Structure 1
Amino acid sequence: MLTIKHHGAVNGVTGSCHELFIDDQHSILVDCGLFQGAEASGQGAGASQLEIEFDISAVQALFITHVHIDHVGRLPYLLAAGFTGPIYCSQPSAALLPLVIEDALKVGVTRNASIIQACLDRLNKQLIAIDYGVWQTIPLTDPKAGQVQLKLKQAGHILGSAYGTFRVRTPAIRQSKRYHDVLFSGDLGAPYSPLLNTPKSPYRTDQLIIESTYGDRNHDNRHQRRQTLQHSLEHALSDSGSVLIPAFSIGRTQELLYELEHIIHLNRHKNVSHTRSGMALDWEDIDIIIDSPLASRFTEVYKTLKHYWDKEAKVRLNAGRHPLSFEQVTTIDSHETHLQTVDYLTRQTRPAIVIAASGMCAGGRMVNYLKALLGDPRNDVLFVGYQAAGTPGRDILKYHEKPNGYVLFDGEKYPIKAQVKQISGYSAHAGQNDLLNFIKRMRFPPQQTRIVHGDDQAKHTFKQLLQQKYPNMDIIIP
């Protein structure tokens, strides 16, 4: 077995960073993500949290599974630490990554345009986009050490997400077999997620490093979760309140837009609410507010990547529908308009749906909406994604049913009087059965599986399930 070190996503679900050692002098890094919530050890986004604390002298290349911040957020610090090797990712990820890094620099490092541009220029020089399903050779400083190739397959998590198989040939491996395959799952998606192709399992692998975010539970199917979303929104909007949906700017926001367009299309003449004056409103009258300049930029890039959309989305496009840009959607760009919108919704007389970052309420414009609207019982907070321990999102879920429950923002208590609901089926992560099926559908399953990227309960539950199914498999929780 080749040696693997884990530099993140070991004690939780953020900070993904893994290092595959070919030998002592040659390694490949997989992701370089930001720690969030309790996993940031209370340090906030300071330099001490973001610095690369491990030796990178052996690192030959970086493979990015997808562009969520918990998988790429420390990339600028990796470059600052002296990493000059190639950065491999899928074609869609290559289009999205500069936007993510630019925003991360503005939020957590500097707003100096020249510094940001210098980092982006450096990134673009090292970035190598590769097609799905094609073997890419990764050069090593010493060719005699062996040969390493990388092949990407769609992971179905967000557009551009990939799991990667490293095919390694070294003199030691050749003594017993032709090559050794190591597969890093990254974040696997749930089947039939909006816009995305369902991930397909590989034929074989020797070693597997797999995520386990939902290793202890399953999701509703696509039809059930769309119905749950619609019913939740209908209930929430019936009293002319606002529905706040915290969502990551990339992936979740676009999937929600896609699902909302379909709900409106199917129910366009159905009443969903009434104004305070008693006038009936149907789905086509509901304002959908996307308050995230970054999400808007991502959505525009998503539109240019239609080639990678799934068959269902392409059928809707060909029918003249616009799943990501329909007339009910209002996009908020400037900070001034954002503040005006928050103020308007505190006084509004008609219902609205607001989608804004961050997905775990740990920052971004969603915080201002929550500060202003969380104390009004007419409003609703609808969580559609995982809430990591130590984030305000997890606290809202935990304390909303308790007497005098509150959440802390900037050291101040905000009472939770709004209705709070979670639809776990809309997570972009695979459920327990999906994770198990990813392994079961391999013709030759791995000899060793390492379980990462999950809370303790999720990892141990999934390990027990694998042990029952594969008693001879070496199963490790790092």
Structure 2
Amino acid sequence: MIEIKHHGAVNGVTGSCHELRVPDFGILIDCGLFQGQEKGRVSSAADLVIDFPIDHIRALVVTHVHIDHVGRIPYLLGAGFDGPIVCSEPSAIMLPEILEDALKIGFTRDRALINRVLDRIRSQLVPLPYGQWHEVVAGGDAALKVRLQRAGHILGSAYVECDVQGACKTERIVFSGDLGAPHSPLLPEPASPEKADRLIIESTYGDRNHEGRESRRYRLKSVLEHALEDGGTVLIPAFSIGRTQDLLYEIEGLIAEFGEAEIPQLDETRLSGALRWQDLEIVVDSPMAAEFTRIYRDLKPFWDDEARERVNAGRHPLSFEQLTVINSHEDHLNAVDYLVRSRRPCVVIAGSGMCAGGRVVNYLKAMLGDSRNDVLFVGYQAVGTPGRNILEHGPRGGWVELDGERYDIRARVHTVGGYSAHADQGDLLRFIGGIPETPHEIRIVHGDKSAKQSFRQALESIAPDSDILIPIE
């Protein structure tokens, strides 16, 4: 009997961890952190504990390296797991980097201990090319192999095909991980599986559709122009991996297209001469984002055709003239102070994406109370995170709690949802509709309750013969 168990991403969109179990062994798909209040309370140290049996687990398969999919890996090792960690080739490069930061923030500052953990992780990594089968268990009464396919979510992201061969039949079970939207910057869009008897699929945006790429691009332009009219800072909280690089790519494209065009000014006295797009300063204030942007540049073979064409034309989508990267903490504090005092328009991209930590918090503390500034959200904000609170209460002039203190929100708050790295409802339905034979079982995970219910209703219209389940913990 084949079982599918869920150890996370059931009551919300974080903590992804799923188990494929056959009688004598099993594998895990992801092992991520919980964030916000998605388990009905504020996340705590108890959420880091591996509270399920792992003696039978033969491998961990990583769909991508976002922290809500990989953040509990050190605790999995601490619980005794010593098997292979299977992931795509780009993910194998990025995983130790993301876990190093997670260890420093939430585990220990002991450099020697961090290095030992990272060395162990590197020794267990099995980089797997896309489209290539890998045997996890061979022979005996049951066998299992896995294959990774491009998911289009972030660089290196994959959905996982699992072939389980028993005494009587072979069953293919597919775990979607996080799927990307078609026409996203930099990455090819995902193709549907050739077969899926059972499908476990995310539903982050299962209740809505994004705007198209061209319209969102010009809406980004419009929001930036509007925000910069009064000489404030546009603060974009963004994940270090994926969203930051997508934004840089799109902003470089806007500068290339509108370089000589002037950005409207409400106060002509504050600058000498008009501000043009090609003069606009873009700041990435995140050492991790800077490092992953470098890795993205080094992995150009995994970019899509459009992005490689820009490079071949002599452009540098992730390293252009107007881009400044801030690394040191001292420079970060100086930048916050300078932007608060000056009236120099600037776009700042800083982590974390849900405003739950990182350098973006210092910017928010200093800038939320000034109506000249703007906060632009381009990604999902989980329940219980400061980002969700700013998004919900900011337009009504509310407040948000940061590091135990309340801060009034007078800055304008915008959202451009089309830049989400997640597929929307239509994309998810097309992904499933593209499978030649509809899965007999579809499990909906990784979404808020309303998103999962809405997606289930939409699914029933295209897969009436499927058993559509919404698992609970």
- Aligned residue identity for 1:5: K
Partner residue, 1:128: 126
Match of 1:196 among 180, 187, 192: 187
Query: Which structure 2 residues correspond to residues 180-329 of structure 1 after superposition, within 5 A?
Result: 180-274=171-265, 276-277=270-271, 279-329=273-323
Partner residue, 1:5: 5
Residues of 2 paired with 1:430 and 1:417: CA distance? 32
- Aligned residue identity for 2:358: G
Partner residue, 2:434: 441
Residues of 1 paired with 2:443 and 2:153: CA distance? 20
SS of the aligned residue for 1:195 comes to coil
CA shift digits 1:343-400 (9 cap, x unpaired):
0010112100000000000000000000000110010000000000000000001111
Contact kept? 2:227, 2:374, Cα under 8 Å: yes
- Aligned residue identity for 2:60: L
Contact kept? 2:438, 2:463, Cα under 8 Å: no
Partner residue, 2:405: 412
Partner residue, 1:138: 136
Residues of 2 paired with 1:6 and 1:471: CA distance? 24
Deviation of residue 65 (structure 1)? 0.2
Matched, 1:468 2:472: no
Q: Percent identity over the alignment?
A: 57
Partner residue, 1:68: 66
Deviation of residue 185 (structure 1)? 0.1
Deviation of residue 445 (structure 1)? 1.6
Partner residue, 1:351: 345
CA shift digits 1:191-215 (9 cap, x unpaired):
0100000100011110000000000
CA RMSD of aligned residues (A): 1.2
Query: Which structure 2 residues correspond to residues 380-419 of structure 1 after superposition, within 5 A?
Result: 380-403=374-397, 405-419=398-412
Deviation of residue 91 (structure 1)? 0.4
Aligned pair count? 468
Match of 1:165 among 147, 161, 164: 161
Distance 1:470 1:41, change over 3 A: closer
Deviation of residue 39 (structure 1)? 2.1
Partner residue, 2:415: 422
Deviation of residue 43 (structure 1)? 4.8
SS of the aligned residue for 2:375 comes to strand
Partner residue, 2:19: 19
Residues of 2 paired with 1:408 and 1:193: CA distance? 33
Partner residue, 1:88: 86
Contact kept? 1:16, 1:31, Cα under 8 Å: yes
Residues of 1 paired with 2:372 and 2:56: CA distance? 56
Point out 4+ residue stretches in structure 1 off by more than 6 angstroms.
Answer: none
- Aligned residue identity for 1:124: R
Residues of 2 paired with 1:334 and 1:419: CA distance? 28
Match of 1:363 among 357, 367, 383: 357
SS of the aligned residue for 1:461 comes to helix
Residues of 2 paired with 1:40 and 1:115: CA distance? 30
SS of the aligned residue for 1:145 comes to coil
Deviation of residue 44 (structure 1)? 4.5
Query: Which structure 2 residues correspond to residues 329-348 of structure 1 after superposition, within 5 A?
Result: 329-348=323-342
Distance 1:156 1:358, change over 3 A: same
Deviation of residue 277 (structure 1)? 4.0
Deviation of residue 132 (structure 1)? 0.4
Residues of 2 paired with 1:347 and 1:37: CA distance? 33
SS of the aligned residue for 1:9 comes to coil
Give 5+ residue unaligned stretches, structure 1.
Answer: none
Partner residue, 1:39: 38
SS of the aligned residue for 1:281 comes to coil
Partner residue, 2:150: 154
TM-score after normalising by structure 1: 0.96
Deviation of residue 42 (structure 1)? 4.4
SS of the aligned residue for 1:400 comes to helix
Residues of 1 paired with 2:42 and 2:434: CA distance? 42
CA shift digits 1:409-447 (9 cap, x unpaired):
112110000000111111000000000000101111211
Residues of 1 paired with 2:21 and 2:39: CA distance? 26
Deviation of residue 291 (structure 1)? 0.3
Contact kept? 1:31, 1:71, Cα under 8 Å: yes
SS of the aligned residue for 2:444 comes to strand
Residues of 1 paired with 2:207 and 2:41: CA distance? 27
SS of the aligned residue for 2:344 comes to coil
SS of the aligned residue for 2:260 comes to coil
CA shift digits 1:60-107 (9 cap, x unpaired):
100000000000000000011100011100001001101000000001
Q: Which deviates the most, 468-477 or 388-397?
A: 468-477
Residues of 2 paired with 1:244 and 1:181: CA distance? 44
CA shift digits 1:214-264 (9 cap, x unpaired):
000000111111111111101101111100000000110011000000000
Contact kept? 2:11, 2:39, Cα under 8 Å: no
Deviation of residue 273 (structure 1)? 4.5
Contact kept? 1:181, 1:205, Cα under 8 Å: yes
Residues of 2 paired with 1:343 and 1:28: CA distance? 49
Query: Which structure 2 residues correspond to residues 41-56 of structure 1 after superposition, within 5 A?
Result: 42-44=41-43, 46=45, 48-56=46-54
Match of 1:100 among 98, 101, 107: 98
TM-score after normalising by structure 2: 0.97
CA shift digits 1:124-155 (9 cap, x unpaired):
11100000011111136xx4131111111100
Residues of 1 paired with 2:379 and 2:396: CA distance? 22
Residues of 2 paired with 1:145 and 1:54: CA distance? 25
Residues of 1 paired with 2:263 and 2:443: CA distance? 47
Contact kept? 2:259, 2:277, Cα under 8 Å: yes
Distance 1:366 1:393, change over 3 A: same
